[in-house]
């Protein structure tokens, strides 16, 4: 996976150093030594074809996955166009990432480990059934989820995606699957308020027969942070997950909503990611959880967030804190604030999902939601701009090809300036 790399002069941000830095960080903090290492392996053809077309698989293998370009080892060291690049190792890296994610999910499903972390690249959540895009070739999280159902005995799986970009590919692949629920929290905007990839509206709830199995939380402005993400979890997402009762949760763990990421323009901290992880462990049957790396383009920030998540997985072994464990879940020093827009966004999510979940139509849920609203610490600080235009697609997603997935809508990414680092809200 380290050999998939762009040209030295490239401005791409999806680099081998992302996973190298994670390895250094978890080793230096003594976390890797507490883990059992699972063997990496390529995804099987059967695993890939549960999510991708045979034509797409052939294109990735032959180097023709980038639209209008074809790889030739005698002519190219690296082939690059927009948000994709391809070298002699891209196909093997992508299929190794997908297979390793599947192996991690299967190990958790079969009870071989309590939880798993798959530090893999290239990422996958933008890859649709038939199209590579946004750094992604194979959709590792979707492939892992389908493997858990087909080979791991799981009947209900949640894929929760906290990458700052909507996982249009994961939604495309799983949209009509009643056994796998896809949940995404992401920045969202179209037209003049565009944010890559321009998909992921709250009204997209799943195809006929799988209504309610797709849930989008679309942040419509930059600067969302710990309080907003945890409000989405506590007010809406966790109650729905409890009703769905998943036997396994797979986290499509992008860390580009982290404070300091060059693309996301958001303010989630390592503690915020730890708290989200803790909550997911608590609602998954037996605490079964598999975390699969997606985006995150500040190598140091991403590594710090991964370490915080891994610390939480170790501290919550078996689904609950262990008294004999020297590790603890990171906690906030003060209550995180919530943006003014968060309440209305979450009310919109509830309205879209209400026809499909019994609990959302009950008085107890309504009372709980209103109690959360009343107790929230609302952010009153005005930022220079609340639009999506700053901190948008960034240098990593210029001139992306049109989306051809189920919810693609033919949008194109637009090159934008990366945001200045946001001030921490804690």
Q: Which structure tokens are listed for 261?
A: 């990421």
Tell me the residue length of the chain.
Answer: 426
Cβ neighbours of 328 (radius 10 Å): 14
Least Cα distance to 98 among 294, 264, 241, 333 occurs for 294
| Selected catalytic residue, list 52, 56, 125, 126 | 126
Q: Which structure tokens are listed for 83?
A: 């948000």
State yes or no: is 125 an active-site residue: no
Euclidean distance between CA atoms 347 and 352, whole angstroms: 9
As annotated, the active-site residues are 126
């Amino acid at each position: 996976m380290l050999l998939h790399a762009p040209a030295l002069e490239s401005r791409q941000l999806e680099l081998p150093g992302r996973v190298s830095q994670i390895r250094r960080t978890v080793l230096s903090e003594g976390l890797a030594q507490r883990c059992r290492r699972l063997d990496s392996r390529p995804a099987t053809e059967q695993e890939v074809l549960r999510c991708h077309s045979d034509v797409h698989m052939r294109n990735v293998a032959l180097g023709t996955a980038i639209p209008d370009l074809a790889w030739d080892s005698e002519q190219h060291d690296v082939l690059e166009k927009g948000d994709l690049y391809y070298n002699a190792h891209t196909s093997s890296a992508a299929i190794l990432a997908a297979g390793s994610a599947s192996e991690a999910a299967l190990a958790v499903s079969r009870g071989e480990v309590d939880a798993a972390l798959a530090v893999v690249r290239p990422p996958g959540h933008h890859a649709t059934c038939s199209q590579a895009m946004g750094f992604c070739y194979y959709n590792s999280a979707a492939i892992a989820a389908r493997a858990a159902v087909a080979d791991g005995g799981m009947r209900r799986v949640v894929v929760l995606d906290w990458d700052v970009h909507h996982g249009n590919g994961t939604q495309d692949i799983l949209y009509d699957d009643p056994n796998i629920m896809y949940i995404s929290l992401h920045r969202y905007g179209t037209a003049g308020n565009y944010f890559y990839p321009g998909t992921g509206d709250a009204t997209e709830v799943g195809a006929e027969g799988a209504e309610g199995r797709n849930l989008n939380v679309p942040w419509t402005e930059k600067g969302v942070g710990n309080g907003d993400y945890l409000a989405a979890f506590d007010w809406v997402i966790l109650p729905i997950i409890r009703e769905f009762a998943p036997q396994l949760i797979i986290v499509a763990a992008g860390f580009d909503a982290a404070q300091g990421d060059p693309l996301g323009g958001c303010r989630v901290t390592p503690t915020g990611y730890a708290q989200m992880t803790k909550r997911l462990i608590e609602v998954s049957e037996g605490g079964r959880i598999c975390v699969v790396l997606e985006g995150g383009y500040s190598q140091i920030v991403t590594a710090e967030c991964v370490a915080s998540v891994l610390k939480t997985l170790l501290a919550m072994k078996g689904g609950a804190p262990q008294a004999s464990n020297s590790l603890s879940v990171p906690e906030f020093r003060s209550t995180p604030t919530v943006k003014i827009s968060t309440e209305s966004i979450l009310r919109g999510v509830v309205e879209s999902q209400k026809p499909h979940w019994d609990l959302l139509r009950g008085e107890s849920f309504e009372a709980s939601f209103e109690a959360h609203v009343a107790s929230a610490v609302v952010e009153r600080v005005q930022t220079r701009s609340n639009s999506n235009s700053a901190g948008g697609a960034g240098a990593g997603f210029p001139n992306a090809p049109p989306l051809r997935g189920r919810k693609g809508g033919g949008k194109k990414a637009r090159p934008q300036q990366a945001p200045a680092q946001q001030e921490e809200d804690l």
